[in-house]
């Protein structure tokens, strides 16, 4: 029995040594074992609004939204890159819908623009240096009474731009579409942020 238990222990020890990294911090042993994608989600009510050109706050049913006037209104959010950040780009998407009912807005388009500025705590200027990405999406529903929520494609913050523990400031705006007929007033429901982090056990 002892030999069996010893064999099991040695097998487990071998597996852990191949797949895990140990760190002793303050007497607590932390085990970093692989990575996974952390999904962060921030609703419209979490966003800050520009003082001069704020999006309009509204509620559809039980869903709070921000209604954006194209090329005018601005929303903001700040978040810290997790200390457990492992590698890879950060990707972001917008969950959105239309603000008006009573008309058919099927096949009309919206273009969301996202600016980001990484604050490293030593050298970043708040007034310059931001990066810009954008994504265009289409409202497909033909109903004149419903407000369907769509998930946009991904926008990216390149891994070379940030590090674990740094602050990222986001500016969100609905801008002129590249092609097609523009949605009259797009409404933001939430922002999704995906970041790859280490799995840490204690």
- 122: domain range? 34-201
Which CATH number characterizes residue 112's domain? 2.60.120.260
Residue 13, domain member (yes or no): no
Residue 10, domain member (yes or no): no
Q: Is the entire prediction scored with pTM above 0.85? A: no
Please tell me which residue, 6 or 114, carries the higher pLDDT value: 114
Q: What residues form DSSP beta bridges with 167? A: 80, 119
The number of domains in the chain is 1
Residue 20, domain member (yes or no): no
pLDDT of the residue at 58: 94
Residue 61 pLDDT level (bands cut at 50, 70, 90): very high
Residue 18 pLDDT level (bands cut at 50, 70, 90): very low
In this predicted model, what pLDDT tens digit does every residue of 119-178 receive, in sequence order? 887 766 676 678 999 999 999 988 888 899 999 999 999 999 999 999 999 999 999 999
Q: What is the mean pLDDT of the chain?
A: 83
């Amino acid at each position: 029995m002892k030999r069996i238990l010893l064999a099991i222990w040695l097998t487990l020890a071998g597996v852990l040594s191949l797949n895990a990294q140990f760190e002793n911090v303050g007497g607590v042993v932390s085990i970093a074992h692989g990575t996974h994608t952390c999904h962060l989600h921030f609703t419209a009510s979490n966003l800050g609004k520009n003082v001069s050109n704020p999006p309009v706050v509204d509620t559809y049913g039980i869903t709070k939204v921000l209604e954006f006037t194209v090329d005018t209104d601005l929303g903001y959010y700040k978040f810290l890159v997790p200390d457990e950040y492992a590698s890879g780009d950060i990707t972001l998407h917008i969950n959105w819908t239309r603000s008006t009912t009573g008309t058919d807005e099927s096949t009309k388009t919206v273009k969301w623009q996202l600016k980001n500025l990484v604050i490293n705590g030593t050298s970043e200027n708040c007034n310059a240096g931001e990066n810009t990405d954008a994504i265009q999406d289409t409202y497909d529903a033909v109903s004149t009474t419903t407000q369907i929520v769509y998930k946009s494609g991904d926008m990216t913050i390149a891994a070379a731009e940030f590090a674990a523990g740094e602050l990222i400031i986001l500016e969100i705006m609905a801008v002129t579409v590249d092609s097609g007929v523009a949605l009259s007033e797009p409404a933001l429901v939430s922002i999704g942020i995906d970041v790859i982090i280490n799995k840490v056990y204690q």
